[in-house]
Amino acid sequence: MKLRSLLRKPPGDQNTVQNLRMARRADKWVQMLKHWEKYSHSSKMRCRVYKGIPPQVRGRVWALLLGVDQAMLENKGEYEQLMALGKVLSPSIAEIDEDVSVTCRDHIFFKTRYSTKQQALFNVLVTFSIYNPDSSAQGVPNWVGSWSIMMKPSVSCSPG
């Protein structure tokens, strides 16, 4: 059966239609990722970002758009050094631990105390507390937690 005929099905099959559209959009993004240099600064990329990045590729796309791999290469080992320093010297360890325990608590990745994602979030916040000691971390755990759901754990801070 052709995709177009499936997309014209009656309203009773809306879930099927929506799933097929999402699969087709994800396939287009996978193709764009394969040819990133060609599409990275194109109007097609801009339009597709505005339409929304499918969850299957969202973490990788944002990492590419933000230049995460390049930043990690340029600052190799700095995150690990700051994290180790933060675990010893950060005056905010107790507050960070408390914030992590209540961040995104209804999300499956954060329900279990000291889960992989909670540890990754703790590491990022402790590292940030040393990197920028004068800043307030008010609200930071929530948006960092949201980002960590999409991104690789901070434990693997090497590109690739």
Neighbours of 25 (CB within 10 A): 17
User: Domain containing 10: what range?
Assistant: 3-66
d(CA 72, CA 108): 28
DSSP 71-116: HHHHTTTHHHHHHHHHHHH-TTHHHHHHHHHHTTTTSTTTSSTT-H
pLDDT range class, residue 115, cuts 50, 70, 90? confident
Percent of the chain whose predicted confidence (pLDDT) is above 70: 75
pTM: 0.62
d(CA 22, CA 145): 25
Q: Is position 159 within any domain?
A: no
Overall number of domains in the chain: 2
Dump pLDDT digits (tens) for 4-43.
555 555 555 678 888 888 899 999 999 999 999 999 999 9
Residue 86 has pLDDT above 80, yes or no: yes
Q: Is position 52 within any domain?
A: yes
* Domain identity same for 106 and 51: no
* Final residue before a domain boundary, out of 36, 66, 96: 66
Q: What pLDDT score was predicted for residue 53? A: 92
CATH number reported for the structural domain that contains residue 133 in this entry: 1.10.8
* Domain identity same for 14 and 51: yes
Q: Is position 93 within any domain?
A: yes
* Domain identity same for 78 and 143: yes
pLDDT range class, residue 76, cuts 50, 70, 90? very high
Q: 3-state DSSP call for residue 152?
A: coil
Q: Is position 155 within any domain?
A: no
d(CA 103, CA 97): 10
**Which tokens is 76 given?**
């190799």
Dump pLDDT digits (tens) for 55-70.
889 889 988 998 988 9
Q: What pLDDT score was predicted for residue 54? A: 92
Which residue in the block uniquely carries the two structure tokens 């209540």? 102
